[in-house]
């Protein structure tokens, strides 16, 4: 039964899927849709791990593209409940499993070389003396590296990814060098980057990056993605991702 603060929204145009949201806790963003569409899926893909799944937008979108089993791990119990309700109302319990646990604890119980693909839309901001933390406890965890940072994500990926499995992240451009450095430190080879711009003639505000465990050297830069036209509407490329 839905809590009165929760609402059920359409997940864009993805197969009439619904997503359970709560403005005080967690609403999915364009970042998650871009990341789910960035992932390279193969017929051999059997198991996917989504780190910090929130209310499960990434597992839902991926479920329209693959029959692989998807595990979403979410540390916050109230947000986990949103994800569980989302999976249930879309009748995806046989494909998507939601786990309420700290990923730093969860991965210790997972055998090495388990997952073909990892996805992660992580907190973007480091914690410092100058950090302006959101008053909402839920949004603090979603936006700031309180319990999860890039180094931890890649350490986890190094263990639980299969050989030649991929980690796929969305992040800020200013963290790109750090991400690539930490990938190399964890035997993960950066293989593909897509740079995202809010509109033409504006600086990039997002990157999508794929790294492959024990992959061969060689980095591809995808065509750039522009989010908005000059009039503020979504570009044709973005609209196509919503269908």
- What is the CATH number for 46? 3.40.50.150
Where residue 144 falls among pLDDT bands split at 50, 70, 90? very low
pLDDT of residue 243: 67
**pTM summary value:** 0.88
For residue 1, being part of any structural domain is answered with: no
For residue 2, being part of any structural domain is answered with: no
pLDDT of residue 91: 94
For residue 66, being part of any structural domain is answered with: yes
For residue 104, being part of any structural domain is answered with: yes
For residue 31, being part of any structural domain is answered with: yes
Number of structural domains in the chain = 1
Range of the domain at 128: 7-241
For residue 12, being part of any structural domain is answered with: yes
Where residue 5 falls among pLDDT bands split at 50, 70, 90? low
pLDDT of residue 2: 45
Q: What is the DSSP string of the chain?
A: ---TT-EEEE-TTSTT-EEEEBTTTB---HHHHHHHHH----TT--EEEEES-TTSHHHHHHHTT--SEEEEEES-HHHHHHHHHHHHHTT-TTTEEEEES-HHHHGGGSPSS-EEEEEE----B---TT----SSHHHHHHHB-SS--HHHHHHHHHHHEEEEEEEEEEE-GGGHHHHHHHHHHTTEEEEEEEEEESSTTS---EEEEEEEETPPS--EEPPPEE-B-TTSPBPHHHHHHT-
């Amino acid at each position: 039964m839905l809590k009165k603060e929760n609402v059920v929204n359409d997940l864009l145009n993805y197969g009439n899927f619904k997503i359970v949201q709560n403005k005080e806790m967690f609403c999915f963003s364009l970042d998650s849709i871009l990341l789910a569409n960035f992932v390279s899926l193969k017929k051999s893909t059997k198991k996917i791990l989504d780190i910090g799944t929130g209310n499960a937008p990434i597992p839902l979108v991926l479920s329209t593209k693959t029959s692989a089993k998807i595990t979403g791990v979410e540390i916050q119990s109230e947000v986990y409940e949103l994800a569980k309700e989302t999976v249930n109302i879309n009748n995806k319990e046989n494909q998507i499993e939601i786990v309420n646990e700290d990923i730093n604890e969860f991965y210790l119980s997972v055998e090495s070389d388990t997952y073909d693909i990892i996805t992660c839309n992580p907190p973007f901001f480091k914690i410092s003396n100058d950090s302006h933390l959101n008053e909402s406890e839920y949004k603090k965890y979603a936006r700031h590296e309180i319990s999860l940072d890039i180094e931890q994500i890649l350490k986890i990926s190094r263990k639980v990814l299969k050989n030649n499995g991929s980690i796929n992240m969305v992040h800020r451009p200013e963290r790109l060098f750090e991400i690539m450095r930490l990938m190399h430190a964890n035997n993960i080879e950066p293989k593909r980057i897509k740079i995202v711009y809010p509109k033409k003639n504006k600086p990039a505000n997002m990157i999508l990056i794929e790294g492959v465990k024990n992959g061969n050297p060689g980095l591809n830069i995808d065509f750039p993605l522009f989010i908005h036209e000059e009039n503020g509407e979504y570009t044709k490329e973005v609209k196509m991702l919503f269908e």
